[in-house]
């Protein structure tokens, strides 16, 4: 399930391709990638991830979905034998309660934020830094969250999404003694966001997602406010901008992306993002990504990515790191 479906598509109606009554749809992908070159000059391992997505609708109004992620061992080496891993990325229902209202429940990709989670939907091989801020805030793998959300269609141009989730950071409050024993408390995370399409090819999203900050040393964002804009009104051109601010650990972050399809099966992307930390060192990190992809077939693509990052702290010390990545994505 694409991230945007949670906030936009499901709010209007589950699309017939996914939710025809009684139908089941199975799809997925295989993502194979490696780092060709880095500053350290060392050879790298190949990594392989896969995903199987299932969508089923027994009625016109309810769709059930599950995404299963499969990957090599965490080190990516796969040299330890049969130690590959699998886990559920998403497990949810989408209920069209009324023409203007869709209710979602379960484990789902974080609705807020511009960048999608899965490799075929990502703009580049590596995630941008702003996605990393969201991912660090959510204790579950893959920038996912668990709870309920309601997407309300407000006219022809807007969708309002409200949600309540398990505390994204799973930061516990002090345990309290009750007649039932020691109880560990969490604060629920709350979501309020709006998606607006004022004209064809222009999508605007703004929202707030709350979360408990760290207890003693803040290491997560806490509450996040995000604004992102995507323009696709010119054929073969995509321009995106995102700005994020948080009440803990991160001061602000932004990214700018420009992509252009030179040929129907060949496109290029340039992205620049910046994150300013509110940590002890007041660290600031900028990343530049250059990306080119070629469609070998309808279900197979190859991409080459150059990734360069520079980090500076309040002492003026600068750290730099560059990498060249190769990626193949096969879809089914």
pLDDT in tens, 20-64: 556 689 999 999 999 998 887 776 778 888 999 999 988 889 999
pLDDT band at residue 159 using 50, 70 and 90 as cut-offs? very high
Alpha-carbon gap, residue 236 to 104, rounded angstroms: 33
pLDDT band at residue 250 using 50, 70 and 90 as cut-offs? confident
**Quick one: 3-331 is in which CATH superfamily?**
Porin (2.40.160.10)
pLDDT surpasses 80 at 220: no
Arithmetic mean of pLDDT, 75-93: 65
Look up residue 173 and give its two tokens: 């409050």
* Higher pLDDT, residue 249 or 217: 249
Q: Which tens digit of pLDDT belongs to each residue from 93-152?
A: 999 999 999 999 999 999 999 999 999 999 999 999 999 988 887 767 778 889 999 999
For 130-182, what is the HEC assignment? HHHHHHHHCCCCCCEEEEEEEEEEECCCEEEEEEEECCCCCCCEEEEEECCEE
Residue 185's pLDDT is 60
Residue 79's pLDDT is 44
Alpha-carbon gap, residue 51 to 27, rounded angstroms: 8
Residue 184's pLDDT is 55
Query: Strands (DSSP E) along the chain, which ranges?
Result: 23-38, 46-57, 62-71, 85-98, 101-109, 144-154, 158-165, 173-178, 181-185, 189-199, 202-209, 224-231, 237-246, 250-263, 266-277, 284-297, 300-312, 318-331
pLDDT band at residue 178 using 50, 70 and 90 as cut-offs? low
pLDDT band at residue 235 using 50, 70 and 90 as cut-offs? very high
Q: For the chain, which residues make up each domain, given as ranges?
A: 3-331
Q: What is the pTM of this model?
A: 0.85
pLDDT band at residue 70 using 50, 70 and 90 as cut-offs? confident
* Higher pLDDT, residue 227 or 171: 227
Alpha-carbon gap, residue 265 to 244, rounded angstroms: 32
pLDDT surpasses 80 at 190: yes
* Higher pLDDT, residue 208 or 314: 208
Looking at every residue in the chain, the average pLDDT score rounds to: 84
249 phi-psi bin (left φ>0, alpha ψ -120 to 50, beta other): left
Strand 46-57 and strand 101-109: the pairing is unpaired
pLDDT surpasses 80 at 277: yes
pLDDT surpasses 60 at 186: yes
Residue 213's pLDDT is 64
Look up residue 83 and give its two tokens: 């130690």
Alpha-carbon gap, residue 242 to 229, rounded angstroms: 6
* Higher pLDDT, residue 111 or 74: 111
Arithmetic mean of pLDDT, 258-287: 91
pLDDT over 70 percentage in the chain: 79
pLDDT band at residue 297 using 50, 70 and 90 as cut-offs? very high
Alpha-carbon gap, residue 64 to 54, rounded angstroms: 8
pLDDT band at residue 1 using 50, 70 and 90 as cut-offs? very low
Arithmetic mean of pLDDT, 308-313: 90
Residue 46's pLDDT is 85
Residue 105's pLDDT is 96
Q: Find the radius of gyration of the CA atoms of the chain.
A: 21
End-to-end CA distance of the chain: 14
Distances (CA, A) of 219 to 49, 275, 279, 323: 28, 14, 8, 26
Using CA atoms of 287, 195, 92, 211 in order, give the dihedral in degrees to the nearest 10. 60
User: Contact, 99 vs 184, CB < 8 A?
Assistant: no
pLDDT surpasses 90 at 3: no
Neighbours of 96 (CB within 10 A): 22
> What three-state secondary structure class fits 59?
coil
Residue 81's pLDDT is 43
Q: Which residues of 8-29 are buried (b: 16+ CB within 10 A; e: fewer)?
A: bbbbeebeeebbeeeeeeeebb
Distance, C-alpha 328 to centroid of its chain: 20
Q: Report phi then psi at 28, rounded to 5.
A: 170, -170
User: Contact, 246 vs 222, CB < 8 A?
Assistant: yes
Least confident range of 2-6, 223-227, 264-268, 304-308: 2-6
Give the residue from 222, 9, 255 showing the smallest Cα distance to 114: 255
């Amino acid at each position: 399930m694409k991230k945007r479906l949670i906030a936009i598509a499901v709010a209007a109606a589950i699309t017939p391709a996914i939710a025809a009554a009684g139908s089941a749809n199975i799809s997925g992908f295989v993502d194979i990638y490696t780092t060709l070159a880095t500053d350290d000059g060392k050879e790298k391992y190949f990594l392989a991830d896969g995903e199987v997505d299932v969508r089923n609708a027994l009625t016109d109004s309810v769709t059930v979905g599950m995404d299963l992620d499969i990957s090599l061992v965490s080190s990516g080496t796969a040299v330890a034998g049969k130690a590959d891993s699998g886990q559920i990325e998403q497990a949810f229902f989408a209920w069209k309660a009324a023409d203007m209202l869709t209710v979602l429940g379960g484990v789902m990709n974080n609705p807020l934020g511009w960048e999608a989670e899965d490799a075929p939907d990502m703009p580049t091989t590596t995630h941008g830094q702003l996605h990393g801020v969201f991912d660090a805030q959510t204790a579950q793998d893959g920038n996912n969250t668990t709870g309920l959300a309601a997407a309300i269609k407000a006219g022809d141009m807007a969708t309002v999404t409200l949600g309540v989730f398990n505390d994204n950071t799973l930061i516990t409050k002090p345990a309290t003694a009750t007649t039932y024993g020691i109880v560990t408390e969490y604060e629920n995370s709350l979501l309020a966001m709006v998606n607006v399409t004022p004209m064809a090819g222009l999508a605007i999203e703004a929202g707030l997602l709350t979360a408990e900050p760290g207890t003693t040393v803040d290491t997560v964002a806490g509450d996040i406010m995000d604004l992102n804009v995507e323009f696709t009104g010119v054929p073969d051109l995509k321009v995106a901008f995102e700005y994020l601010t948080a009440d803990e650990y991160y001061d602000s972050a932004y990214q700018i992306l420009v992509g252009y399809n030179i040929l129907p099966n060949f496109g290029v992307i340039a992205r620049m993002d910046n994150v300013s930390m509110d940590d002890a060192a007041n660290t600031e990190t900028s990343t530049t990504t250059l990306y080119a992809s070629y469609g070998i077939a309808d279900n197979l693509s190859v991409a080459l990515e150059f990734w360069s990052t520079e980090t500076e702290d309040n002492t003026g010390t600068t750290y730099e790191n560059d990498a060249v990545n190769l990626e193949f994505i096969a879809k089914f």
